[in-house]
């Protein structure tokens, strides 16, 4: 943050004369090359001569860097003094002088240099800005405050010192005044949004609401809203972050901010936010790649219907090949997700001649998955056959094998996380622990689950536990989960797991859930006994910290809101 | 071989089942400990049940030694406290180590009866000490003005004060919170209490309470104060016969000669402090070095260093500074620190910030009792502001700052030995 600010500052204070010297002399270029190569001692000779004969900002700044690398910053003071005598109002040389004295920790000389600068340029905010910034960096915010106030009195306004004032207030823990100052600074310099968010991020929870109000107040400005969004993200409030950006005026600048936010949300797998932000950006700029990203986010967010409006096939006009490549696969997935698998099949048929073999296979696999999810194993098998031999290695084929109890094939084909919308982790865990290749009762239980028959599935998992003792606790735990963790119906199953399978990971999890159910019911004594039994009987369980924490909450030894 | 704490606890349990019981359990208080704060609760409650425990000063961070009893092992396992079974031979080796170094074994024989001066409606989370006691599982009795005035202090050995303003000026919070419902409620309740107990104003009531606290210490009580209670208790005691409260608090202006009329012979720790006369400046006096609520005077937070005392010759200050860290990050409070210039001679400085004109942690005798002051509000909430969420100590199980608080709770349990210095 500081380096960005420093660069901005250096750019702003360079005089037109200095800026005009864009073509550097060969000896300066040579000095820069030596610096880049780490040959500081050689570079310093050339740069010192260049600064002496015809100083340019590039040469002076390079000399400053090279001396710092060599630990010889004090050698810069004499040439800088000379340059200042020749150009007493040149802020670049004054800034370098202050920085150098700061590096050397010569506090008294630093102060004197600042005073000389003020005398040379009494109406210039730069000396106050630079010196205050240095004091903040030195951890002397109170002294920085004095300088800012002095600058305000001398200049008649804080306008040119808002950035430093904002940093200062934050350093002093005056969060709301800092936010107000940032807000004013951002009006002129929206690129400071990241710096503002970084400075205000440590604000305590009690100040955050007021800070939010400062940035949300009218008028709606891009810089302020970007800063607030970054801030809210750092405070763990991504939804509020999006809300702060949503009300920006729809124009190309806002669309860029929305797209950037959407990319971050997409990368963080916050699908709802990504979908909404992409949708907002699409409202300004209809770009096919944004439509595809928005549709993927919508599918992941569980709102497949949005795909039809985000990526309408009509938008592609007569370009069926592009439609088949970009939008049709999304529509197929959306139709499958909302249970219109037949329509998905029809859509594939319509665009079939535009598909590459790989695209065709993926689309057909998606349809097969639709039938598998519906529990229609016959149609799923037919779709996989139609997709060709490669489809036999698909995730859909793996699920089909699982539901039919063919565990050897299921083990081979299923990968956790590969099937959209399906949490395969429990199934994979169970089939990995089973030594047999055929377990029809287990397959039947997962099939009932796929068909959405929770009650039936729960009963079938209990039956499967009796048939497959090797994984009985895991199957019983699945049955308990399907009973609904918020009710008491699962208690007999948890009880059985704890009693019959002590020492298993499922016993620890069951006891934790059992204790929670008792606590919800208000039976605090029994809940305490269960938590204690879990802690004492499973000292190596990964659930131990959680159990301890909940026991502490139950005893009232930690604040209830935590 | 080193084991993580959880495994160590598990091993301890396994040992219970498979081997002959050890004679003692060592509760280490160095980095091997997984829950330093609850270790104090384990020891305190063991002593409370009549068990003889020992505090091994400077041995592995100020460890505790308790008998190897099933209930203690169970408690330790439930709370995630690391304990190590110690055989007679190992114990003999520990005692040899202690004898040959700056260490000492102090028997803990009687758990002090604990009172915390706090408003009846206050939650335990309002005060770092009640927070620590609650988390460590140490019982305490909340008392307030009514109980103090009724003479209930005599029922307790140990008293804690936190952010009460004994000058009766409500920490000058009227400057920022005059219209806040909680502040209006606080003022109304205190005013009603003063009236009910026959005092002309809240400052008059608080001064009388301060006087009774002073007498409690003089009679042999242990006083531990933090935050604003340290400074204001002293001002109220020294200003017993002077109007030191602003007009906004008691309807009459502060005595114009209040500073010169303060009687510092009556106070416990401080002398020659100057009152802050302005009702618009949120400070009480120049006792506090940091002046957190006065923007132009506020000093930044640094770190403070605990002094290392001779465990054999100065066991009391040694007990108060037992910790697994010697340098601790500072934290603000209404009173954050104590300026060196206002300390009475004879005050024992327990922790200070190097190069600063203030100290953080002080202790001393008064009459037959002792007092200890620790500046700041909450060791794990350095910038504490009103309305901040409460500190969750399960996230700070090894807080070195909170250990200082719990040292104070436990040290009155130590068997008195004649002081050698």
3-class DSSP string for B18-85: HCCCCCEEEECCCCCCCCHHHHHHHHHHHHHCCCCEEEEECCCCCEEEEECCHHHHHHHHHHCCCCEE
* Helices A395-403, A377-387: inter-axial angle, 10-degree rounding: 150
In this structure, is the dihedral angle defined by the CA atoms of residues A196, A199, A202 and A206, taken in order, positive or negative? Answer: negative
Verify that A467 and A522 share a domain, yes or no.
no
Is B384:A556 a contact under the CB 8 Å cutoff? no
Q: Which residue in A141, A165, A168, A173 has the most chain B C-beta atoms within 10 A of its own C-beta, making it the best mutation to test that interface? A: A173
Would you tell me which residues 103-142 of chain B have a C-beta closer than 8 angstroms to some C-beta of chain A?
Answer: 123-125, 134-135, 137
Last residue within a domain, chosen from A483, A509, A540: A483
Give the position of tokens 């400070």: B283
Is B334:B163 a contact under the CB 8 Å cutoff? yes
Verify that A478 and A506 share a domain, yes or no.
no
- Residues from chain A that touch B395, judged by Cβ atoms under 8 A, are 562
Residue with the bigger pLDDT between A357 and B150: it is B150
B132 to chain A: closest CA residue: A557
pLDDT, tens digit, 9 for 90 and up, residues A144-191:
888 888 888 888 887 888 888 888 888 878 888 899 989 998 888 888
Cα–Cα–Cα angle for A67, A73, A76, nearest 5°?
A: 85
- Residues from chain B that touch A551, judged by Cβ atoms under 8 A, are 78
Please give the pLDDT value at position B241: 94
* Helices A524-537, A544-555: inter-axial angle, 10-degree rounding: 150
B77 to chain A: closest CA residue: A536
Confirm whether A541 is domain-assigned.
yes
Last residue within a domain, chosen from A483, A510, A533: A483
- Residues from chain B that touch A172, judged by Cβ atoms under 8 A, are 295, 298
Please give the pLDDT value at position A561: 58
Question: Which of A200, A152, A194, A136 shows the shortest CA–CA distance to A174?
Answer: A200
DSSP string across A200-246:
HTT--HHHHHHHHHHHHSSSP-HHHHHHHHHHHHHTT-HHHHHHHHH
Q: Which residue in B71, B392, B399 has the most chain A C-beta atoms within 10 A of its own C-beta, making it the best mutation to test that interface? A: B392
| Cβ neighbours of residue A145 closer than 8 Å, sequence gap 6 or more | A168, A172, B295, B296
* Cβ neighbourhood burial of A257 (10 Å; 0-12, 13-18, 19+): buried
Beta bridge partners of B343: B270
Helix/strand/coil for B211: helix
CB burial readout A91-118, b (16+ within 10 A) else e: bbbbbbbbbbbbbeeeeeebbebbeebb
Give the C-alpha separation, B405 to B131, whole Å.
10
**Number of domains making up chain A:** 2
Could you tell me if residue B226 is left (phi over 0), alpha (psi between -120 and 50 degrees) or otherwise beta? beta
Helix/strand/coil for A534: helix
Is B236:B167 a contact under the CB 8 Å cutoff? yes
Give the C-alpha separation, A372 to A424, whole Å.
14
Confirm whether A384 is domain-assigned.
no
CB contact B391 to A (< 8 Å)? yes
Q: Which residue in A137, A503, A539, A548 has the most chain B C-beta atoms within 10 A of its own C-beta, making it the best mutation to test that interface? A: A539
CB contact under 8 A, B77 and A174: no
CB contact under 8 A, B389 and A139: no
Verify that A520 and A465 share a domain, yes or no.
no
| Cβ neighbours of residue B419 closer than 8 Å, sequence gap 6 or more | B313, B314, B315, B316
CB contact B247 to A (< 8 Å)? no
Alpha-carbon distance B228 to nearest alpha carbon in chain A (angstroms) = 20
CB contact under 8 A, A174 and B295: yes
Confirm whether A297 is domain-assigned.
no
Give the position of tokens 């600074």: A185
Has residue A373 got a pLDDT over 90? no
Please give the pLDDT value at position A415: 67
Q: Given B9, B125, B386, which is nearest A559 (Cβ)?
A: B125
CB contact under 8 A, B389 and A561: yes
Longest dimension (CA), chain A: 95
In whole angstroms, how far apart are CA B217 and each of A215, B159, B205, B211, B224?
52, 9, 19, 10, 10
Last residue within a domain, chosen from A483, A509, A525: A483
CATH architecture entry for B114-413 = 3-Layer(aba) Sandwich (3.40)
Verify that A449 and A530 share a domain, yes or no.
no
Verify that A495 and A562 share a domain, yes or no.
yes
Q: Given A206, A539, A552, which is nearest B10 (Cβ)?
A: A539
Chain pair A-B, CB pairs under 8 angstroms:
72
Give the C-alpha separation, A230 to A324, whole Å.
38
Alpha-carbon distance B168 to nearest alpha carbon in chain A (angstroms) = 26
Confirm whether A558 is domain-assigned.
yes
Verify that A497 and A553 share a domain, yes or no.
yes
| Cβ neighbours of residue B89 closer than 8 Å, sequence gap 6 or more | none
Confirm whether A7 is domain-assigned.
no
CA atoms within 13 A on the CB side of A327: 23
Give the C-alpha separation, B278 to B272, whole Å.
18
DSSP string across A45-89:
HHHHHHHHHS--HHHHHHHHHHHHHHT-GGGGHHHHHHHHHHSTT
Please give the pLDDT value at position A544: 93
Confirm whether A183 is domain-assigned.
no
Strand positions, DSSP E, B261-330: 303-306, 327-329
Helix/strand/coil for A462: helix
Q: A23 falls in which pLDDT band (50, 70, 90)?
A: low
Confirm whether A513 is domain-assigned.
yes
Give the C-alpha separation, B365 to B217, whole Å.
9
Q: A486 falls in which pLDDT band (50, 70, 90)?
A: low
Q: Given A532, A535, A559, which is nearest B392 (Cβ)?
A: A559
- Token duo for residue B354: 């190097």
Has residue A431 got a pLDDT over 80? yes
CB contact B74 to A (< 8 Å)? yes
In whole angstroms, how far apart are CA B366 and each of B218, B223, B349?
6, 10, 15
CB contact B383 to A (< 8 Å)? yes
Q: Given A142, A544, A558, which is nearest B6 (Cβ)?
A: A544
Give the C-alpha separation, A230 to B212, whole Å.
54
Q: Which of A17-26, A550-559, B116-125, B220-229 has the highest mean pLDDT?
A: B220-229
Instruction: Tell me how long chain A is.
Output: 562
Please give the pLDDT value at position A478: 92
Give the C-alpha separation, A46 to A31, whole Å.
6
Beta bridge partners of B86: B24
- Residues from chain B that touch A561, judged by Cβ atoms under 8 A, are 389-390
Helix/strand/coil for A137: helix
Please give the pLDDT value at position A391: 56
* Cβ neighbourhood burial of A392 (10 Å; 0-12, 13-18, 19+): middle
Confirm whether A349 is domain-assigned.
no
pLDDT, tens digit, 9 for 90 and up, residues A186-212:
888 888 888 888 989 888 888 888 899
* Helices A288-301, A271-284: inter-axial angle, 10-degree rounding: 150
CB contact under 8 A, B394 and A205: no
Q: A10 falls in which pLDDT band (50, 70, 90)?
A: very low
Per-10-residue mean pLDDT for chain B, 421 residues long? 43 41 88 96 96 95 96 95 95 95 94 94 82 95 96 96 91 76 86 94 96 96 96 96 90 91 96 90 93 86 93 94 95 95 96 94 96 96 80 93 96 69 41
Give the C-alpha separation, B340 to B356, whole Å.
9
* Alpha-carbon Rg for chain B in angstroms: 22
Structure letter (DSSP) for residue B298: P
What would the mean pLDDT of A84-111 be, rounded to a whole number?
89
In terms of residue numbers, what domain contains A530? 489-562
Verify that A510 and A531 share a domain, yes or no.
yes
CB contact B355 to A (< 8 Å)? no
How many other β-carbons are positioned within 10 Å of the β-carbon of residue A396? Answer: 26
- Token duo for residue B287: 């006792």
Verify that A451 and A474 share a domain, yes or no.
yes
Is B72:B9 a contact under the CB 8 Å cutoff? no
* Residues of chain A that touch chain B, judged by Cβ-Cβ distance less than 8 Å: 139, 141-142, 145, 172-174, 204-207, 532, 535-536, 539-540, 544-545, 548-549, 551-552, 555-559, 561-562
Give kind and range of the element (H or E) at residue A450.
Answer: helix A440-450
* Helices A205-216, A238-246: inter-axial angle, 10-degree rounding: 20
Would you tell me which residues 301-330 of chain B have a C-beta closer than 8 angstroms to some C-beta of chain A?
Answer: none
| Cβ neighbours of residue B197 closer than 8 Å, sequence gap 6 or more | B145, B146, B149, B205
Give the pTM: 0.64
């Amino acid at each position: 943050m500081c380096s960005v600010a420093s660069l901005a500052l250096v750019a702003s204070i360079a005089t037109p004369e200095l800026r005009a010297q864009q073509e550097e002399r060969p000896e300066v270029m040579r000095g820069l090359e030596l610096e880049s190569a780490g040959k500081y001692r050689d570079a310093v000779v050339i740069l010192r001569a260049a600064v002496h004969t015809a100083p340019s900002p590039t040469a002076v700044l390079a000399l400053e860097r090279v001396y710092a690398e060599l630990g010889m910053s004090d050698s810069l003071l004499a040439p800088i003094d000379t340059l200042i005598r020749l150009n007493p109002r040149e802020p670049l040389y004054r800034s370098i002088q202050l920085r150098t004295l700061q590096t050397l920790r010569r506090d008294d000389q630093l102060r004197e240099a600042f005073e000389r600068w003020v005398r040379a340029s009494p109406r210039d905010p730069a000396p106050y800005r630079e010196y205050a910034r240095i004091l903040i960096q030195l951890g002397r915010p109170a002294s920085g405050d004095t300088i800012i106030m002095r600058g305000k009195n001398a200049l008649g306004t804080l306008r040119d010192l808002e950035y430093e004032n904002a940093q200062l207030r934050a350093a002093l823990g005056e969060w709301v005044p800092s936010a107000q100052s940032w807000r004013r600074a951002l009006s002129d310099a929206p690129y400071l949004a990241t710096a503002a968010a970084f400075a205000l991020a440590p604000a305590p929870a009690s100040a955050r609401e007021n800070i939010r109000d400062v940035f949300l107040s009218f008028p709606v400005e891009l810089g302020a809203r970007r800063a607030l969004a970054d801030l809210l993200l750092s405070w763990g409030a991504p939804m509020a972050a999006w809300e702060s950006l949503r009300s920006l005026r729809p124009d190309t600048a806002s669309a860029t901010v929305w797209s950037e936010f959407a990319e971050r949300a997409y990368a963080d797998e916050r699908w709802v936010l990504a979908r909404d932000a992409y949708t907002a950006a699409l409202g300004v700029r209809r770009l096919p790649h944004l439509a595809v990203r928005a549709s993927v986010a919508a599918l992941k967010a569980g709102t497949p219907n949005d795909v039809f409006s985000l990526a309408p096939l009509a938008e592609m006009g007569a370009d069926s090949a592009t439609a088949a490549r970009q939008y049709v696969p999304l529509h197929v997935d959306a139709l499958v997700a909302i249970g219109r698998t037949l329509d998905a099949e029809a859509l594939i048929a319509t665009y079939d001649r535009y598909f590459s073999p790989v695209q065709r296979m993926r689309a057909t696999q998606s349809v097969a998955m639709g039938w598998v999810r519906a529990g229609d194993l016959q149609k799923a098998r037919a779709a996989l056959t139609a997709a060709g031999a490669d489809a036999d290695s698909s995730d859909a084929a793996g699920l089909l094998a699982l539901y039919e109890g063919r565990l050897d094939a299921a083990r081979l084909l299923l990968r956790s996380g590969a099937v959209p919308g399906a949490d395969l982790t429990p199934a994979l865990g169970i089939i990995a622990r089973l030594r047999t290749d055929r377990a029809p009762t287990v397959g039947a239980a997962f099939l009932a689950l796929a068909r959405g028959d929770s009650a039936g599935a729960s009963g079938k998992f209990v039956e499967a536990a009796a048939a497959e003792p090797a994984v009985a606790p895991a199957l019983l735990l699945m049955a308990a989960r399907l009973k609904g963790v918020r009710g008491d119906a699962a208690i007999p199953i948890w009880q059985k797991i704890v009693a019959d399978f002590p020492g298993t990971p499922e016993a620890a999890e069951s006891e934790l859930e059992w204790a929670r159910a008792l606590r919800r019911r208000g039976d605090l004594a029994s809940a305490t006994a269960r938590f204690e039994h879990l802690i004492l009987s499973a000292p190596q369980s990964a659930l131990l910290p959680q159990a301890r924490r909940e026991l502490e909450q139950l005893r009232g030894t930690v604040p209830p809101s935590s | 071989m080193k084991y993580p704490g959880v495994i160590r606890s598990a091993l301890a349990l396994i040992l219970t089942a498979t081997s002959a019981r050890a004679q003692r359990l060592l509760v280490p208080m160095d980095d091997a400990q997984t829950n330093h704060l609850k270790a104090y609760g384990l020891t305190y409650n063991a002593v409370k049940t009549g068990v003889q425990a020992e505090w091994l000063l400077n041995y592995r961070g100020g460890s505790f030694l308790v008998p190897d009893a099933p209930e203690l092992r169970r408690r330790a396992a439930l709370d995630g406290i690391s304990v190590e079974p110690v055989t007679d031979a190992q114990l003999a080796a520990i005692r040899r180590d202690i004898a040959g170094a700056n260490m000492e074994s102090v028997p803990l024989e009687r758990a002090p009866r604990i009172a915390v001066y706090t408003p009846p409606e206050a939650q335990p989370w309002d005060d770092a000490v009640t927070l620590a006691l609650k988390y460590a599982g140490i019982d305490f009795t909340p008392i307030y003005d009514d109980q103090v005035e009724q003479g209930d202090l005599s029922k307790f050995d140990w008293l804690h004060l936190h952010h009460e303003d004994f000058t009766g000026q409500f920490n000058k919070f009227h400057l920022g919170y005059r219209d806040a419902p909680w502040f209006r409620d606080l003022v109304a309740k205190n005013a009603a209490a003063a009236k009910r107990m026959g005092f002309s104003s809240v400052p008059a009531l608080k001064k009388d309470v301060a006087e009774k606290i002073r007498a409690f210490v003089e009679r042999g009580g242990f006083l531990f104060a933090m935050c604003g209670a340290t400074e204001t208790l002293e001002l109220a005691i020294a200003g017993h016969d002077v109007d030191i409260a602003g007009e906004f608090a008691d309807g009459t202006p502060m005595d114009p000669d209040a500073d010169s009329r303060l009687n510092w012979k009556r106070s416990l720790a401080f002398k020659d402090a100057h009152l802050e006369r302005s009702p618009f400046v949120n400070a009480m006096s120049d006792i506090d070095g940091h002046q957190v609520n006065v923007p132009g005077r506020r000093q930044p937070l640094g770190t403070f260093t605990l002094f290392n005392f001779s465990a054999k010759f100065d066991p009391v200050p040694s007990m108060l500074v037992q910790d697994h860290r010697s340098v601790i990050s500072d934290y603000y409070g209404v009173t954050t620190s104590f300026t060196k210039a206002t300390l009475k001679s004879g005050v024992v400085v327990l922790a200070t910030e190097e190069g600063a004109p203030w100290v953080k942690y002080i202790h001393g005798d008064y009459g037959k009792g002792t007092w200890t002051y620790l500046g700041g509000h909450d060791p794990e909430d350095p910038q504490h502001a009103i309305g901040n969420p409460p500190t969750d100590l399960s996230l700070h199980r090894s807080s070195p700052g909170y250990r200082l608080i719990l040292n104070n709770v436990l040290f009155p349990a130590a068997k008195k030995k004649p002081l050698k210095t």
